[in-house]
């Protein structure tokens, strides 16, 4: 009798556990905070490291935009109006070369995009630790990875509670601040324009950050730097099938202050050499390259919040360049663009007393 009762209790307990697991999985599937199964018209809270893979799989797009934080302020409506495309931007601050490869590989697999805009930060190639911010299970479609998603710590303890709060606020019609609403927009995924007040952008802010060494790029080891960058560029490009649609690579317009520091630190010429190598490798496979690093806007620190991050009007100007072909690299103009970048670096001067430092 005791054994029979114990068996019943065990069966009842297991049935209860199974029912709870099914319920939890159903709730996670219905809310789907990382958009792994569908993209709703109205989402709750987006975080790129968790939703990028789901967006690439499930969003309606024909153009994929990938890059670091200097791509995050692109205006998707401007891409639509200027280029006539259906864009999806999945750029992330601090993204690594291997992570760009991961996103591109998934996009190839889904077959939705026939045009790819890829931001190229040269410092990605000066070091490669092989690490990734992305949870690997979000890039797999097997049943175990899907179950791991439905029961993951991030889903249940970080995002479903937030999503439930937004669900209730939406139901009762609460008007949310612009910044919060921006964080819920796929078009504005990881857009940081509302994160910084006017006092934290422009020349004074750039100089302050520069003097305090905030937002500075990590120090570069110049030992065998070109060979290391060449190897990493080759490895990076192995992740691309440049005959699958149009590939547009672009070098972001860092400020002339960044390049001044690069020259003083001994890696300016190597970076330009690496850029030239990159351009040679992709253009011989019919990829398109835009090089914005000699543009006049790089000389005006009022266009920036630090030495590398430029403000949204610069992003808008870049989109118009994509449309009209300005700063597109050709065999005839690339040498002039590199020389202009050198000239800009030579003639840049820090305002006032900051130059002496």
Q: What is the pLDDT of residues 23-63, one digit of tens each?
A: 999 999 999 999 999 998 777 778 889 999 999 999 999 99
Residues 146-175: tens digit of each pLDDT: 999 999 999 999 999 989 998 899 889 888
Residues 256-304: tens digit of each pLDDT: 999 999 999 999 999 999 999 999 999 999 999 999 999 999 999 999 9
Report the CATH number that the domain containing residue 124 is assigned in CATH.
3.40.50.1110
For residue 270, what are its two tokens?
């190597």
In 3D space, the residue among 78, 95, 96 whose CA is nearest the CA of residue 87 turns out to be 78
In 3D space, the residue among 320, 291, 303, 311 whose CA is nearest the CA of residue 120 turns out to be 291
- Is residue 139 in a domain? no
Residue 332 has pLDDT above 80, yes or no: yes
Structural domain span for residue 239: 55-134+181-356
Higher pLDDT, 108 or 127: 108
- Is residue 296 in a domain? yes
Question: In Å, how far are 141, 177, 191, 221, 236 from 56, measured between CA atoms?
Answer: 13, 28, 18, 35, 20
> What is the reported pLDDT for 218?
62
What residues contact residue 52 under an 8 Å CB cut-off, 6+ apart? 90, 92, 103, 134
> What is the reported pLDDT for 217?
64
- Is residue 265 in a domain? yes
CA distance 7 to 3: 6
- Is residue 228 in a domain? yes
> What is the reported pLDDT for 357?
42
On the CB side of 197, how many CA atoms lie within 13 Å of its CA? 1
- Is residue 2 in a domain? no
- Is residue 319 in a domain? yes
CA distance 316 to 24: 44
Mean pLDDT, the chain, as a whole number?
91
What domain count does the chain have?
A: 1
> What is the reported pLDDT for 4?
65
- Is residue 146 in a domain? no
CA distance 37 to 281: 37
Per-residue confidence at 353, pLDDT binned at 50, 70, 90?
very low
Q: Rg of the chain's alpha carbons, rounded to an integer?
A: 24
Residue with tokens 């990028």: 52
- Is residue 149 in a domain? no
Residue 76 has pLDDT above 90, yes or no: yes
The C-alpha angle with vertex 278 and arms to 106 and 69, in degrees rounded to 5, equals 55
CA distance 224 to 227: 6
Residue 3 has pLDDT above 60, yes or no: no
β partners of residue 118: 66, 249
């Amino acid at each position: 009798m005791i054994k029979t009762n114990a068996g019943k209790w065990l069966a009842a307990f297991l049935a209860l556990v199974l029912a709870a697991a099914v319920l939890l999985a159903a709730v996670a599937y219905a809310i789907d905070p990382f958009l792994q199964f569908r993209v709703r018209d109205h989402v709750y809270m987006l975080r790129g490291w968790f939703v990028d893979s789901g967006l690439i799989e499930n969003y309606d797009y024909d153009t994929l935009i990938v890059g670091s934080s200097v791509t995050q302020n692109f205006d998707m409506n401007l891409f639509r109006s200027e280029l006539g495309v259906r864009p999806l931007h999945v750029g992330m601050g601090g993204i690594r070369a291997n992570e760009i490869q991961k996103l591109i590989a998934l996009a190839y697999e889904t077959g939705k995009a026939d045009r790819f805009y890829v931001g190229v930060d040269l410092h990605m190639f000066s070091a490669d630790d092989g690490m990734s911010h992305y949870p690997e299970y979000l890039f797999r479609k097997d049943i175990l990875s899907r179950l791991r998603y439905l029961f993951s710590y991030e889903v249940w303890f970080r995002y479903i509670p937030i999503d439930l709060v937004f669900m209730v606020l939406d139901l009762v019609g609460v008007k949310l601040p612009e910044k919060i609403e921006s964080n819920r927009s796929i078009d504005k995924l990881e857009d940081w324009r509302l994160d910084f007040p006017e006092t934290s952008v422009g020349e004074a802010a750039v100089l302050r950050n520069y003097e305090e060494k905030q937002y500075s790029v990590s120090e570069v080891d110049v030992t065998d730097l070109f060979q290391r960058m060449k190897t990493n560029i080759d490895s990076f490009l192995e992740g691309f099938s440049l005959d699958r649609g149009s590939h547009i690579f672009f070098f972001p317009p860092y400020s002339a202050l960044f390049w001044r520091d690069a020259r003083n630190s001994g890696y300016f010429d190597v970076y330009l050499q690496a850029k030239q190598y990159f351009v040679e490798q992709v253009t011989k496979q019919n990829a398109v390259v835009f090089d914005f690093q000699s543009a006049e806007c790089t000389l005006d620190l009022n266009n920036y919040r630090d030495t590398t991050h430029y403000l949204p009007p610069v992003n808008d100007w870049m989109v118009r360049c994509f449309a009209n072909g300005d700063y597109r690299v050709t065999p005839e103009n690339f040498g002039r663009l590199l020389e202009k970048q050198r000239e800009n670096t030579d003639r840049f001067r820090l305002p006032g007393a900051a130059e002496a430092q």
